[in-house]
Structure formats: C-alpha cells, structure tokens
C-alpha cells in the first residue's frame, strides 16, 4: 500500500499523527552516503587549503571521531547519542594544521555542507503537506547529531516556510528511535500509538523501532539492498581507477539513479540493468556529445552529428529523445571505411589481421575477387576456414595494386553516396562530429583519407565514450578527437582492461541488424546477423531501461535540484566507475542475465564467440599462472565475467591486475620444492624426472611436467603422497608447442578429463583426495602429441600437513 493510499484512508479514520524521518526520507542528499557530507566539509573548511589532497584522511578521521565520541557517551551516560560538537572534540586538529578553537568552525563547515547537499524529497513533501492539510498532527523524528535548532534551520532551508507540530532530534534527548525516543514522543505529544504512522528508510530504527512502540511504520528505502551493494562496488572501483580524485561526491549522479529507480515500475532484470546502470552512463555521454558539438561549432560553421552504427544505436536513440537538433545514424564500420580508404595493401592487411576466422565466400564478398590463388589458399585449411592473421600474411600474394585501387575506388563512391543520403546538406557541412563507443578512431581516420582522396574539406571530430588516447597522435591537424572516459579520467592500464571487456557493452548498445558490408544508393547492405532472437530481445529490453532513465532523468534531476553532468570531469569519472563496475565486477544476477550472450564476429564465418568461459580461465590459471590468465586474448569476450564466475574474489584479483595493483611477489608462483615424477613408455620402460613444485600467492601448488614427442611417454605417475598427501585436485591441463617455452606460453590449453585420471593408492571424493599409502600416485595418461613438446600442468590445493 502506498503512503498516498494510506493517507486517503486516514482522513476517514481520525489518525492522530504522522511522523517522518529526516535524512534519506524527507530530505535527500546529493551524495550516496553520509561520508559525502564529510568530504564536502573538507572542501568548505580551511583544511582543503592548509592540507590539500588529503580529503580521504579527513573523512576517515571524522568517522573515527564519531565512533570515539559515541563510545565515550555510552561509557559515561549509558547511551551513544551525541551532538556534533562532541564528535569534533575527538578530531585530531593538529594533524590538519588546526587548533582546538577551530572546533566550531568545523561544525559550521559541516552544517554548510548539509545545506549544500540536502534537498527536500518531493514525494515525501507531498505526503507531508497532504497530511497537514487533512488536519493531522505532523512532524519529524530523527536520529541525528544535529540538535533541533540546526535541524529546523536545515528543513526550512530545503523548503522555506515549512512548519511542523513536533520535531525530535535524538541527540537532544540522549536516546535513539531504536531505544526510547519514540516513547518520549508519544508521551509528550499525547499521541495514541495505534492511531499514528511513522515513515522512514532505516529497517532497524524506523521500522522495528516504531513497531516496538505500537506505531504503524511505513518503509521508504532510498535504494534496494542490491543497488546499495552496486554503489559500494562502484566506490571501490572509483578509488582504484580514478586515483587522487574525491570518491564520495558525484554531483548527485547516484542520488538521481536511485530516485529514478524508486519511481519506476517493477520490470524485468534486463530493463532494471538499463535503468540503473547503462542508462546513467549513456545519458552522461549524451551530455558530453552535446558539449562536443557546441565546442566545434561557431560562426560560418555548419556542424552535422552522426552516430556510428551498430554500437552507436542506443546513443542515437537517447540523443533523439533528449535533444532537439538533428542527427544521423551512420552505418559505417571499420571494414567498410578501411577498404574504401585503401590506396595500398597495408590497410587491408591491418584489417584482416584482426579478423577471428574467415572463409573464401566472405573474402570474396569483401574484396570482390575469387582468383585461383585465393581458392588454393583457403583449400589448405580445414573446412576452408583460415585465421585473419594467416590471410593477412598471404594477402600480398593474393591481390595486386590494381585490384586494390579498383576495389577501394568503387566502394568509396558508394560510401559517399550513402553519406549524402544519410546526412541532409552533407555537401554544405563544414564539420562532422562522429559519436561512437570508441576506441582508437579507426573509422574517423579512414574517413579522413576517403575525404582527402575525394577533395572533401569537411573537418572530422571524434566524440567517443571510451578513447585509447595513445592512438590519436596521427589524427589530421584540422580534425579533433576527445574521449569522455579518456586516459585523464582513468589510467591507461585500467583503460586496456576496460577495453578488453567492452564486447558486453557493444552487445547491449548495438542495433538488432547485422553489420554493414556495402551500400547500394542510400540502402545499407548488411552481414547476416547470427545472434539468436533471445539475445536481440534481451538487448532491446536493456535499451528500453536505458531510454526510460534518459527520459526520466531530466525531470527528476530538476525536482531534486541535481546537476550530475554540469562538471564534465566529475561526470566522466563516475560514469567510468559505473561502467567499469558492470564490466569488471558483475554480481551473480548480472552473470546469470548476461552470461549466455554471444559476440558476433561479423567478418568471417558468422561465428559467435562466447562472452563467458570460466573453464577457460581455470585452465589458464593452472597452465600459465594468474597474471598470464588475466592477460588472455579473446575469446572469451568477457574475461572479467569469466573470472567473476569462478568466484567474486577471483573477479577482484582480475581487477587488481588490470589496475596494476597485483604485486607479482605476492600473487605469482614461487618454487617451494621438487618431486620425482615417474614417466612410463608404452613398452613398460620407466624413468624418474625431477620437477619443481611451485606455490601460488593463494597457497595452491602447481607442477609442470614437460615431455618431448621423442620420449614416447604414455603415462605420468605423480606421487601425491610425497608432497601433498591430502588436498583438492583442481585441474590437469596440457599445452603443446615447438619448444618448451612455446608450449608453456600457449593459450591453447586443453583440460584433461577427470574420468581419464587414475588414482592409485588414493581415496577420492569429487575434487578431494587423500593418500592411503606412502606410494599413492595420480596417473595421468599422455595423449598423442601433434607438436614436438607437451607440458602437463597440475593444480592442487593442499590440505593438512604437507612434506613441502
């Protein structure tokens, strides 16, 4: 039942009183947690000038001072309620260049911070005024260190002229709502508890506290537990990725998110993800694109805006909904633009080298040639499918310069005809802003070459959500590029990690169509779209949530007096943290929702690459170590999600690695002993080989046993009883290569089936084993080798006492 419904019924039931909690109920702060007030206090006080760059230390000391004050009050008075002046009496003044006489100045600064951050909650204000007009006794009961005088000043500052029948501040009465404050309120006001209501956001103080005294509570949470957990993860990532920036104040961005979420009807998990995560990021990006368009405009400038398809589809829809100016949705991808701009073979080699797989049919569709040399090349590969790297290496022998010039010229003419169709007034345009997810501006650079070849003087300006800024030094002098989440927002190391996992964002933002392959007049010719209908529907639902946020955000922000995009640097940092949290630290619900997505390669065999593969990550950690696993090339496309599916802690270790915060001497392997391994040939001959035992930073053991094809080994006997008589056998893997180093570094890791392993003298239950004799061994069958060297790796978590 809503508060409004309750209020309507109460008018006929003679309800005697309505009490409202103050903070996070009647008043909403433009920060997620109260420590944002302390960060703002640091900025407003003289401390930010006398001790710059130490806001985190100031905030933590403010929190510790409150804890000490409450403990002292509990010891002295039997209750932990304190005034703000008592809190600051425990603050370390000298540390920040202050004296004890500055106590009142700090209190005033904190109150000024409250005045700056607090806003009246329109929903609560409406309910409050309705109850007051209906003749009910209405007022406030708050657990706070602000006395009633300051609390009254704050309430009237947020809504001038506000009146009430009663106001209780816990610090004035030495008791909280969880203790005796409700009882005091009922007694002093002469109120019948059974005929009164209390509205609040705190389950313990407002709901259980009111119920214990017979008051009927109404729960008004500011954020669901899940959204609050997401905000905590975002703050942790913010502090990792956006170094030396204040991590508690976001100009109301997260307050806006939770208010929009609170006012939205319950819908699907995909819609909710768009509403609370993707929508806020893309709406902030929309504000960035608007600024870019304004910056490049000016007298005698005719500026056009184009969103690059397919990944720019959602951005374009948000722009259409929020902005009155025209824009175009331009289906131009890397493949089309590079081929159209080619005057040598180099761009084509670069393009093909990044293709996952490709066959003759697709190559002909791209290059319009099917020569005997091309047919012979693809015939060399199983199924006629080669890797892009193999094709790129052979390309100079498959095409000559004349074919390249003819191919590029024809496609260039069709591309320009499409641009003239898609962008009204294209020939009068002086500047074209290209908005896209990012990353290195390859389409922008290729279009520059196309325009130069055709004598078109239009300046190009990139506006990218994520930019890899070291790729922009070769941008033409008359052009420009800027990334919303640039290397000045998060560090380059972290940016590479974000880019490695960006395929998830691409799938959520892109259109339902296949990728462009050519043009015919104003018509786009597209690749086959291999994504299943269920995935396209899921992306559409996420986008619906994102659009719902964008449409609601303007009005909600105005109602609450929030300006989350006014400071571009603040908006960029918090957008980076919001996006990074989804891509790098997903929760279990997000893994379940998004884990089945596939990434369509587009070029090649129309294959779908998996987003998640936790078994792959497990095998990589076993065979190559944690750091090497963290640096694995795709697929899987969502490497962070694959780590998170192993466990939340592995997910966080991956983030630490990407942020350059995973010390090798802590988490990497170190030799901790050796053991003799039995190697058996098919004929029965055997030999002993000494191998090194390594201990990982997580306390697990790794052994790697190299074999050569000439040794003709058929079985490995690993004497577990000698070095780890009890433990968990996590994985056995094999890699192959032309030499030991090549094999050990290979990402092509094959897991050995558990059913093929033989336990001799060892009792086994699932992963757990226990040696029953001193000769207990794990027998590992050796598969036929296709290369000169094979390396077998074993991952063990020892339990109990080990000989090593």
Length of the chain: 804
CA-closest candidate to residue 146, choices 122, 121, 112, 101? 112
The full DSSP string for 585-623 is S--HHHHHHHTT-EEE--SSS--EEES--HHHHHHHHHH
Residue 147 buriedness (CB in 10 A; 0-12 / 13-18 / 19+): middle
Query: Which pLDDT score, from 0 to 100, does residue 804 have?
Result: 45
Residue 569 lies in a domain: no
Between CA 492 and CA 336 the distance in angstroms is 29
For residue 32, what are its two tokens? 């997620």
Between CA 785 and CA 751 the distance in angstroms is 15
Cα 336 to Cα 61, 148, 348, 525, 685, distances in angstroms: 57, 68, 10, 11, 60
Q: Do 450 and 308 belong together in one domain?
A: yes
Residues in the chain where the model's pLDDT stays below 50: 1-13, 604, 803-804
Residue the block writes with tokens 């001497």 = 665
Query: Which pLDDT score, from 0 to 100, does residue 490 have?
Result: 93
**List of residues 6+ apart from 7 with CB closer than 8 A:** 18, 127, 130, 131, 134
Q: In sequence order, what are the beta bridge partners of 526?
A: 516
Q: Do 724 and 765 belong together in one domain?
A: yes
pLDDT digits (tens, 9 = 90+) for 644-698: 999 999 999 999 999 999 887 888 899 999 999 999 998 779 999 999 999 999 9
For residue 6, what are its two tokens? 């309750």
Inter-residue contact 745 to 755 (CB < 8 Å): no
Residue 419 lies in a domain: yes
Query: Which pLDDT score, from 0 to 100, does residue 603 have?
Result: 55
Q: What is the CATH number of the domain that holds 307?
A: 3.40.50
Query: Which pLDDT score, from 0 to 100, does residue 607 have?
Result: 74
- Which of the listed residues 526, 543, 571 is the one where a domain comes to its end? 526
**List of residues 6+ apart from 604 with CB closer than 8 A:** 355, 356, 357, 358, 359, 362, 385, 388
**List of residues 6+ apart from 576 with CB closer than 8 A:** 238, 241, 242, 485, 489, 490, 498
Between CA 30 and CA 670 the distance in angstroms is 48
Between CA 351 and CA 445 the distance in angstroms is 13
Q: Do 323 and 471 belong together in one domain?
A: yes
Q: Do 689 and 778 belong together in one domain?
A: yes
The SS3 of residue 544 is helix
Q: Do 125 and 69 belong together in one domain?
A: no
Instruction: For the chain, report the end-to-end CA distance as a whole number of angstroms.
Output: 64
Q: Do 619 and 507 belong together in one domain?
A: no
Residue 337 lies in a domain: no
Q: Do 503 and 388 belong together in one domain?
A: no
Residue 187 lies in a domain: yes
Query: Which pLDDT score, from 0 to 100, does residue 15 have?
Result: 60
Q: Do 308 and 173 belong together in one domain?
A: no
Q: Do 724 and 783 belong together in one domain?
A: yes
- Which of the listed residues 89, 116, 143 is the one where a domain comes to its end? 116
| Number of separate domains in the chain | 6
CA-closest candidate to residue 172, choices 151, 203, 200, 197? 151
Q: Do 305 and 425 belong together in one domain?
A: yes
The SS3 of residue 707 is strand
Inter-residue contact 701 to 693 (CB < 8 Å): yes
Domain that holds residue 182: 3-26+121-219
């Amino acid at each position: 039942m809503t508060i409004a419904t309750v209020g309507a019924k109460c008018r006929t039931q003679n309800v005697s009183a309505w009490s409202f909690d103050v903070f996070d109920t009647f008043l909403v702060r433009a920060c997620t947690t109260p420590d944002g007030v302390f960060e703002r206090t640091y900025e407003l006080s003289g401390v930010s000038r006398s001790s710059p760059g130490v806001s985190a230390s100031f905030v933590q000391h403010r929190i510790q001072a409150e804890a000490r004050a409450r403990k002292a009050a509990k010891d002295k008075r039997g209750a932990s309620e304190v005034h703000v002046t008592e809190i600051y009496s425990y603050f370390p003044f000298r540390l920040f260049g202050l004296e004890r006489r500055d106590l009142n100045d700090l209190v005033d600064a904190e109150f000024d911070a409250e005045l700056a951050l607090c806003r009246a909650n329109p929903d609560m204000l409406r309910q409050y005024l309705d109850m007051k007009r209906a003749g009910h006794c209405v007022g406030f009961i708050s657990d706070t260190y602000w006395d009633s005088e300051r609390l009254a000043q704050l309430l009237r500052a947020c809504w001038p002229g506000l009146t009430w029948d009663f106001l209780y501040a816990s610090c004035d009465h030495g008791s909280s709502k969880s203790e005796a404050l409700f009882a005091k309120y009922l007694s002093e006001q002469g109120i019948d508890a059974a005929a009164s209501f209390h509205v609040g956001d705190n389950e313990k103080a407002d709901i259980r506290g009111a119920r214990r005294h017979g008051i009927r509570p109404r729960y008004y949470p500011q954020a669901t537990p899940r959204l609050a957990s997401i905000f905590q993860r975002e703050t942790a990532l913010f502090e990792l990725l956006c170094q030396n920036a204040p991590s508690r104040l976001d100009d109301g961005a997260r307050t806006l998110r939770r208010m929009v979420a609170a006012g939205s009807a319950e819908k699907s998990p995909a819609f909710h993800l768009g509403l609370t995560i993707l929508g806020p990021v893309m709406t902030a990006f929309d504000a960035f694109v608007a600024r870019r368009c304004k910056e490049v405009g000016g007298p005698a400038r005719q500026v056009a805006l184009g969103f690059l398809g397919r990944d720019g589809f959602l951005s374009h829809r948000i722009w259409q909904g929020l902005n009155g100016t025209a824009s175009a949705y331009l289906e131009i991808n890397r493949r089309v633009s590079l081929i159209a701009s080619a005057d040598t073979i180099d761009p084509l080699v670069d393009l093909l080298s990044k293709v996952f797989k490709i066959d003759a049919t697709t190559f002909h569709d791209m290059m319009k040639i099917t020569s005997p040399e091309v047919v012979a090349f693809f015939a060399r590969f199983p199924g006629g499918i080669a890797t892009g790297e193999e094709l790129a290496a052979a390309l100079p022998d498959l095409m000559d310069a004349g074919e390249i010039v003819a191919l590029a010229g024809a496609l260039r003419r069709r591309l320009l005809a499409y641009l003239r169709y898609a962008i009204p007034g294209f020939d009068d345009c002086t500047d074209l802003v290209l908005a896209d997810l990012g990353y290195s501006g390859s389409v922008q650079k290729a279009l520059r070459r196309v325009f130069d070849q055709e004598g078109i003087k239009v300046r190009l300006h990139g506006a990218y959500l994520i930019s890899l800024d070291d790729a922009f030094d070769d941008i033409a002098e008359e052009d420009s590029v800027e990334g919303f989440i640039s290397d000045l927002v998060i560090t380059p190391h972290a940016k590479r990690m974000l880019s490695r996992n960006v395929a998830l964002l691409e799938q959520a933002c892109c259109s339902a169509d296949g990728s462009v392959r050519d043009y015919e007049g104003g018509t786009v010719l597209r690749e086959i779209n291999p994504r299943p209908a269920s995935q396209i529907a899921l992306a559409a639902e996420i986008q619906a949530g994102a659009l719902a946020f964008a449409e609601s955000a303007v009005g909600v922000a105005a109602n609450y007096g929030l300006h989350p995009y006014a400071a571009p640097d603040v908006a960029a940092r918090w957008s980076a943290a919001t996006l990074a949290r989804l891509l790098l630290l997903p929760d279990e619900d997000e893994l379940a929702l998004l884990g089945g997505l596939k990434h369509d390669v587009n070029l090649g065999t129309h294959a779908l690459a998996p987003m998640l593969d936790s078994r792959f990550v497990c095998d990589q950690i076993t065979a190559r170590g944690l750091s090497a696993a963290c640096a694995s090339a795709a697929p899987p496309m969502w490497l962070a999600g694959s780590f998170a599916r192993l466990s939340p802690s592995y997910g966080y270790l991956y983030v630490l690695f990407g942020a350059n915060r995973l010390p090798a001497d802590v988490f990497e392997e170190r030799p901790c002993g050796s053991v003799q391994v039995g190697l058996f040939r098919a004929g029965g001959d055997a030999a002993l080989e000494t191998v090194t035992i390594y201990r990982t930073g997580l306390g697990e053991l790794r052994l790697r046993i190299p074999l050569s094809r000439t040794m003709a080994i058929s079985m490995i006997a690993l004497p577990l009883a000698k070095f780890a008589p009890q433990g968990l056998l996590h994985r056995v893997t094999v890699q192959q290569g032309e030499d030991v180093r090549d094999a050990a570094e290979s990402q092509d890791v094959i897991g050995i089936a558990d059913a093929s392993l033989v336990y001799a003298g060892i009792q086994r239950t699932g992963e757990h084993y226990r040696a029953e004799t001193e000769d207990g061994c794990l027998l590992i069958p050796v598969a036929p080798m296709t290369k000169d060297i094979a390396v077998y790796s074993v991952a063990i978590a020892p339990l109990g006492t080990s000989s090593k």
